[in-house]
Amino acid sequence: MAAFFETPEEATHAEIQEIISRFGRSAAICKKAGFSGIEIHGAHGYLINQFLSPHHNQRTDQWGGSPENRRRFLLAVYAEIRRQVGDDFPVAIKLNSADFQHGWFYRRRVAGND
Tell me which residues are annotated as active site.
46
Nearest to 103 by CA among 91, 94, 113, 112: 113
Q: How far apart are CA 61 and CA 70, in angstroms?
A: 10
The DSSP secondary structure of 81-96, one letter per residue, reads HHHHH-TTS-EEEEE-
